[in-house]
Copies of this chain bind each other. A is one copy, B any other.
Amino acid sequence: MHGSLKLIRGGDVVSSSGITRADLLVEGEKIKALGTPGSLEGADETIDAAGTFVMPGLIDPHLHLNSPFMGTVTVHDYARGSAAAAFGGVTTIIDFSTQPKDGSILENMAQKETEAKDSYLDWSVSGILLDAGPRTLEELPRLVAAGYPTYKCFTTYKHSGRLIDDEGMLTLLEATADNGGMLMVHCENDTIIERRLRMEIGAGHFAPIYHARSRPASAEVVAIRRVIDLMREVPATVYIVHVSAADSMALIEEARAEGLPIHCETCTHYLALTEAKLEGPQGQLYICSPPLRAQKDVDGLWRAVASGGIEIVSSDDAGVSPQDNYRIGEGRFDKVPSGLSGIESRLAILYSEGVAKQRIDLPKLVELAAQNPARLFGMYPQKGILAPGSDADILVYDPSVEWTMTAKELHMNTDFCAFDGWKIKGRVRSVLSRGSFVIRDGRLVGKPGAGKRVFRRLSH
């Protein structure tokens, strides 16, 4: 009736609280015990973890699988995406389900549940809301009650019908305050961007760098400021997605000091790349929104990551194929289906650029990529921590390996790698999802369809 017993022995077990040399005993899908080395007995199988870091499996709360976009579709479906994620140390992914125009978010969610049937990893979905109308308001509590308590809206993309205006935002804040969910907001001020777009295009500026020029850091700052202004009216829980500008953090911290429940993330690429990429070869493959910023933003975001101001680092995996990028883009930045693939590379960058360069320590990495996503997205302590009774989602990381990142070395469904040629310290050795190996000694051994939906419930 109990599952088999696995002992992960002799590793350095990492939590947000620190690092302890300990053995980890797994029974079936759950963690049974942690003990001093040699203290736990009775295992059916022993995995030697000496010399490795044993961490909670990572959680990626921001990615777009199988998502139609500007005439193409993102490169990863659940099978390919979750497999690549597992190679990146991830054990739980949260995809997005986009409400059809004037349609039902619940119906779209049902379709996502079908798509997810071949996931290697546990999964959930956040909604993307296109309106704050009566049907949406009626469906939101049902969404939350169904275990999908997070949903996103946009302050931009008016031209494609995705912008939520101030009134809509206040309505969603009220709904969120009532239903106990969390409103994720993509913050870029549309008015500023549209004006700049007109100007750049009018001036015949089509090169990739003008994507960044038309979406300045100030557009993000302004949009965040407005969300905060509205939160002062209705202080519902908000999560600012993909903060890219260092200046945004002062606003967010100030709002917190007032007691407003505002959370935020940044993404891997904002911590590692600058807009200089847009001016280099293959520049248009680096187009994403918000765009890559300046080095001072990279530095500022790392500071905020280290100090706790930024609580999560996600991937925002949303790449399309380079072929489609070039075909649809037609040499114009404004036609490029924007987005980077990064579902696999997050841990490598966080470890090599963060831990190895002493910008953060390893417990902080676990906090950013596992514990906080679990907490803020309502899966804690089932996920995000290695504690007795928690799911045995386990990442075994070997810090002694050094390798060079290339598209070929990775397992994402694209031949473009934003970090091509980067030297990486450490590599995922094994990944267990609910007690079963998905990756073992560097090879994919999991099964598509083994992943289960995680019923999420927020606790704030």
Q: Is A256 part of the binding interface, using a Cβ–Cβ cutoff of 8 Å?
A: yes
| Contact size range, A | 35 or more
Q: What residues of chain B lie closer than 8 Å to A389, measured between beta carbons?
A: 20-22, 36
Q: Is A46 part of the binding interface, using a Cβ–Cβ cutoff of 8 Å?
A: no
CB distance from A203 to the nearest CB of B (A): 15
Q: Is A191 part of the binding interface, using a Cβ–Cβ cutoff of 8 Å?
A: yes
A32 B25 Cβ-Cβ under 8 A: no
Interface residues, chain A, CB within 8 Å of chain B?
Answer: 15-23, 25, 27, 30-36, 39-40, 166-167, 169-170, 189-192, 194-195, 218, 222, 225-226, 229-230, 232-234, 249-250, 253, 256-257, 259, 303-304, 307-309, 371, 380-381, 385, 387-390
B222 A20 Cβ-Cβ under 8 A: no
Partner of A32, one of B39, B167, B388: B39
A233 B20 Cβ-Cβ under 8 A: no
**CA of A229 to CA of B229, assembled, Å:** 13
Partner of A218, one of B19, B232, B380: B232
Partner of A307, one of B36, B222, B257: B257
Q: What residues of chain B lie closer than 8 Å to A259, measured between beta carbons?
A: 303, 307
Which 7 A/B pairs are nearest by Cβ-Cβ distance?
A33-B35, A166-B191, A36-B388, A22-B388, A222-B229, A20-B387, A18-B381
**CA of A30 to CA of B387, assembled, Å:** 18
A385 B17 Cβ-Cβ under 8 A: yes
**CA of A148 to CA of B170, assembled, Å:** 38
Q: What residues of chain B lie closer than 8 Å to A218, measured between beta carbons?
A: 229, 232-233
**CA of A17 to CA of B194, assembled, Å:** 42
A36 B33 Cβ-Cβ under 8 A: yes
**CA of A195 to CA of B15, assembled, Å:** 42
Q: What residues of chain B lie closer than 8 Å to A257, measured between beta carbons?
A: 249-250, 253, 303-304, 307, 309
Partner of A33, one of B39, B191, B194, B304: B39
A388 B39 Cβ-Cβ under 8 A: yes
B36 A34 Cβ-Cβ under 8 A: no
Q: What residues of chain B lie closer than 8 Å to A225, measured between beta carbons?
A: 225, 229
Q: What residues of chain B lie closer than 8 Å to A15, measured between beta carbons?
A: 17
A371 B36 Cβ-Cβ under 8 A: no
Q: What residues of chain B lie closer than 8 Å to A232, measured between beta carbons?
A: 218
CB distance from A173 to the nearest CB of B (A): 10
CB distance from A383 to the nearest CB of B (A): 12
**CA of A304 to CA of B16, assembled, Å:** 21
Q: What residues of chain B lie closer than 8 Å to A195, measured between beta carbons?
A: 170, 233-234
Could you name 13 residue pairs across A and B whose Cβ atoms are closer than 8 Å?
Answer: A17-B17, A18-B380, A18-B387, A27-B39, A33-B35, A33-B36, A167-B194, A170-B191, A218-B229, A218-B232, A218-B233, A253-B257, A257-B307
Known contacts A30-B36, A32-B36, A226-B226; is-contact A192 B233 (Cβ 8 Å): yes
**CA of A84 to CA of B257, assembled, Å:** 35
CB distance from A384 to the nearest CB of B (A): 9
CB distance from A197 to the nearest CB of B (A): 12
CB distance from A328 to the nearest CB of B (A): 27
**CA of A36 to CA of B24, assembled, Å:** 12
Given contacts A22-B388, A166-B190, 7 further A-B pairs with CB under 8 A are A20-B390, A33-B34, A33-B35, A36-B389, A189-B229, A218-B229, A256-B307
Which chain B residue has the least Cβ–Cβ distance from A20? B387
A34 B388 Cβ-Cβ under 8 A: yes
A17 B387 Cβ-Cβ under 8 A: yes
Q: What residues of chain B lie closer than 8 Å to A385, measured between beta carbons?
A: 17-18
Partner of A191, one of B17, B18, B191, B230: B230
Q: What residues of chain B lie closer than 8 Å to A32, measured between beta carbons?
A: 35-36, 39
CB distance from A167 to the nearest CB of B (A): 5
Q: What residues of chain B lie closer than 8 Å to A19, measured between beta carbons?
A: 381
Known contacts A257-B249, A257-B250, A309-B257; is-contact A25 B17 (Cβ 8 Å): no
Q: What residues of chain B lie closer than 8 Å to A233, measured between beta carbons?
A: 192, 195, 218
**CA of A253 to CA of B257, assembled, Å:** 9
**CA of A256 to CA of B35, assembled, Å:** 36
**CA of A39 to CA of B15, assembled, Å:** 21
**CA of A381 to CA of B257, assembled, Å:** 30
Q: What residues of chain B lie closer than 8 Å to A30, measured between beta carbons?
A: 36
